C-alpha cells in the first residue's frame, strides 16, 4: 500500500530493484539507459536511469556524487532523484517521470520552425532560476541542453 508522506517530508522510495517494474526505454546513451517504470509499492510511474559502471571507463566517484546531488536538490525547476542504489555493476537512479519529454522534443514535434521569442524568454528565465539555485548550493551543471539529439 502507498505510504503518504507528511507535508514537507519526502517519501522514502524503495532501494531494491524488485520494487520496480521496468517498461519501455525512453532514453539511451553511451553509458546509461532510461526506462519508464512503475514503483510497485507506491503504484507510481517513475523514470529509472540505469548507468553501467563498466561501460566507457565510467568515473564511479563522479557518477555516485552526481546521483547523490540529484537526491538532495530541491527546486521546482530542477529534476531531483527520489533515490539511487547500486545493483551489481549498475547504478539505478529513480526520478519523477516527465511525461511531456524534453524541451527539444516539444520544439521538434510542435514548433518545428522554433519557439517564438517570448516563449524562448520564458523558458530561459525558468532555466536560469534553476541554475541560480544550483550555483547558490555550490553546484555547476556543466551540461545544460534542450534535449538529446538523435
Ligand X SMILES: Nc1ncnc2c1ncn2[C@@H]1O[C@H](COP(=O)(O)OP(=O)(O)OP(=O)(O)O)[C@@H](O)[C@H]1O
Residue 99 exposure: Cα atoms within 13 Å on the Cβ side: 2
Q: Tell the smallest beta-carbon distance from residue 104 to ligand X (Å).
A: 8
| 143: annotated active-site residue | yes
Instruction: Map residues 47-66 to x or -, x wherever contact with ligand X holds by CB under 6 A.
Output: x-x-----------------
User: Which residue from 21, 29, 68, 119 is in contact with ligand X, where contact means CB under 6 A?
Assistant: 29
Q: Binding site annotation covers 4?
A: no
Query: 115: exposed, middle or buried (C-beta count within 10 Å: 0-12, 13-18, 19+)?
Result: middle
For the annotated catalytic residues, the residue numbers are 143
Contact positions toward ligand X, by CB under 6 A?
A: 26-27, 29, 32, 34, 47, 49, 79, 95-98, 101-102, 143, 147-148
Amino acid at each position: 500500500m502507498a505510504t503518504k508522506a507528511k507535508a514537507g517530508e519526502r517519501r522514502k522510495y524503495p532501494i531494491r530493484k524488485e520494487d520496480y517494474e521496468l517498461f519501455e526505454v525512453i532514453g539511451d546513451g553511451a553509458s546509461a539507459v532510461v526506462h519508464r517504470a512503475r514503483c510497485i509499492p507506491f503504484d507510481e510511474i517513475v523514470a529509472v536511469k540505469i548507468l553501467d559502471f563498466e561501460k566507457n571507463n565510467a568515473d564511479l566517484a563522479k557518477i555516485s556524487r552526481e546521483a547523490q546531488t540529484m537526491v538532495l536538490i530541491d527546486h521546482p525547476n530542477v529534476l531531483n532523484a527520489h533515490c539511487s542504489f547500486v545493483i551489481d555493476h549498475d547504478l539505478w537512479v529513480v526520478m519523477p517521470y516527465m511525461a511531456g519529454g524534453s524541451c527539444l522534443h516539444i520544439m521538434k514535434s510542435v514548433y518545428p520552425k522554433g519557439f517564438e521569442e517570448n516563449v524562448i524568454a520564458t523558458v530561459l528565465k525558468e532555466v536560469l532560476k534553476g541554475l541560480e539555485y544550483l550555483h547558490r548550493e555550490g553546484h555547476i551543471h556543466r551540461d545544460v541542453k534542450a534535449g538529446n539529439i538523435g
